[in-house]
């Protein structure tokens, strides 16, 4: 029996039925310990942009580990590669005059953002601005901040009293955001957290004009706009940041996943000059008392640099655009399948094959059966909170593999009907 307690798992079932144990990966495929190969429909957990088995990243990380694996970055010390990465990330962001906070993943980027927002308002002598606005279906990781900001209801349980105040608005209704801020009083509202395209909640692209509207509303009320780009950054929407695609200038951008393609854990925040100002302008004025042992970890930074090199040299941002069209075209016919309600695709290398709500309701467990059937047909995917199958392949997936993906998923659904 396994001794590993898996995240988000029904461990009674896993320990009874066993695990899928993987050994290796190459480009868009992974192989299990029995030698069976699967198409990776989800890029691991949305992260593996450059594909599996890239020795370029392994070599860069190993070289950095041999030189200087890690060092404290508290105060005025840092490894050279950490500073190089920060400069590179900021230069490719909508805030070339901004700065980068580095963390070990998306959840601690979000928690850091929550604390940064609160500290920012304290320094501006508006300490009553403590309420965060979140969206229905939102996923912002599972640390305390992200759990308080969860719009996926089951992810919020046991967190009634986290000390982080937040209110929810409908994910697609900018007017409700405006009304909510007015009702609370803008002087109470600290920030609006927003995934440019909702990921784990079910792959929901923003309605036309929605993101521009929420940016205007936040500006009007002085509320900080936090774009959570943990999924949408680094090519998944055909740009370094989805904010550029949607012409947004968020006050903070959180990122993780694609920054290293998952080769080592790394996340962070791009902070705009507006947020930096009270911290960066007057020496001796203040210290943001926040950071982690592994903030700016050197080996992770080296992996990120090598990953960004690959994204650039292999034109993988363009590949994000190519996959946007290819996935939408090849998956569209699945809409006619009796188990499928709709296929959401067409914004980035992202899609969800939404299973029919009536079928899900009438046949408990059918979603997981589809996932297992896909596995038998050589595709790894998973069920999102909405009851949709996650499709977010590595950006190196070829058009031929997208064809195979669509064929195999159709066969998997046929087997379960």
Ligand X SMILES: Cc1ncc(COP(=O)(O)O)c(C=O)c1O
Residue with Cβ nearer ligand X (121 or 255): 255
Compute φ and ψ for 293, nearest 5 degrees: -50, -40
**Count of positions on this chain that bind ligand X (CB under 6 A):** 16
Residue with Cβ nearer ligand X (44 or 79): 44
256 contributes a contact to ligand X by CB under 6 A: yes
Site string for ligand X, 265-294 (x = CB under 6 A): --x---------------------------
231 contributes a contact to ligand X by CB under 6 A: yes
Residue with Cβ nearer ligand X (29 or 107): 107
Site string for ligand X, 119-148 (x = CB under 6 A): --------------------xxx----x--
Decide: 401 and 28 in contact? Cβ < 8 Å. yes
111 contributes a contact to ligand X by CB under 6 A: no
Residue with Cβ nearer ligand X (170 or 416): 170
Rounded to the nearest 10 degrees, how much is the dihedral formed by the CA atoms of 372, 374, 376, 381? -70
106 contributes a contact to ligand X by CB under 6 A: yes
Residue of this chain nearest to ligand X (CB atom): 106
Interface pick for ligand X out of 51, 79, 94, 105 (rule CB under 6 A): 105
Site string for ligand X, 338-357 (x = CB under 6 A): --------------------
Residue with Cβ nearer ligand X (253 or 310): 253
Instruction: Report in angstroms how near the CB of residue 123 gets to ligand X at its nearest.
Output: 25
Residue with Cβ nearer ligand X (7 or 338): 7
**Binding segment (CB under 6 A) for ligand X, from list 59-67, 195-203, 313-321, 324-332:** 195-203
Give me the residues that bind ligand X (CB under 6 A), please. 105-107, 110, 139-141, 146, 195, 199-200, 228, 230-231, 256, 267
């Amino acid at each position: 029996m396994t001794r590993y307690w898996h995240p988000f798992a029904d461990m009674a079932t896993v320990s009874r039925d066993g695990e899928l144990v993987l050994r290796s990966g190459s480009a868009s495929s992974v192989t299990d310990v029995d030698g069976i190969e699967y198409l990776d429909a989800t890029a691991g957990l949305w992260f593996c942009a450059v594909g599996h088995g890239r020795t370029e990243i392994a070599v860069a990380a190993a070289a950095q580990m041999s030189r200087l694996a890690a060092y404290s970055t508290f105060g005025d010390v840092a490894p050279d590669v950490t500073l190089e990465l920060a400069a590179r990330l900021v230069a490719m962001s909508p805030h070339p005059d901004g700065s980068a906070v580095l963390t070990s993943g998306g959840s601690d980027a979000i928690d850091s953002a929550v604390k940064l927002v609160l500290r920012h308002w304290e320094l501006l002598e508006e300490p009553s601005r403590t309420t965060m606005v979140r969206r229905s279906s939102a996923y912002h990781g599972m640390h305390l901040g992200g759990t308080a900001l969860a719009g996926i209801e089951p992810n919020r349980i046991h967190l009634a009293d986290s000390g982080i105040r937040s209110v929810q608005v409908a994910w697609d209704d900018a007017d409700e955001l405006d009304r909510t801020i007015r009702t609370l009083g803008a002087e109470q509202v600290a920030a609006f957290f927003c995934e440019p395209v909702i990921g784990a909640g079910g792959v929901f692209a923003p309605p036309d004009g929605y993101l521009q509207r929420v940016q205007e509303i936040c500006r009007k009320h002085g509320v900080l706009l936090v774009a959570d780009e943990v999924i949408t950054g680094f090519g998944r929407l055909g740009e370094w940041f989805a904010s550029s695609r949607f012409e947004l200038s968020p006050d903070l951008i959180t990122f993780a996943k694609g920054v290293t393609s998952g080769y080592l854990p790394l996340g962070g925040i791009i902070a705009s000059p507006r947020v930096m100002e009270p911290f960066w302008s007057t020496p001796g004025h203040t210290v943001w008392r926040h950071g982690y042992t592994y903030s700016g970890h050197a080996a992770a930074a080296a992996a990120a640099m090598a990953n960004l090199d690959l994204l650039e040299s292999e034109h993988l941002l363009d590949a994000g655009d190519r996959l946007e069209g290819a996935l939408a075209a090849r998956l569209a016919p699945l809409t006619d399948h009796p188990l499928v309600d709709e296929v959401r695709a067409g914004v980035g290398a992202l899609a969800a094959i939404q299973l029919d709500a009536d079928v899900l309701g009438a046949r408990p467990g059918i979603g997981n059966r589809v996932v297992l059937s896909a596995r038998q047909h050589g595709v790894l995917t998973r069920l999102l909170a909405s009851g949709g199958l996650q499709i977010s392949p590595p950006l190196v997936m070829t058009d031929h593999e997208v064809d195979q993906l669509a064929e195999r998923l159709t066969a998997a659904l046929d087997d379960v009907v």
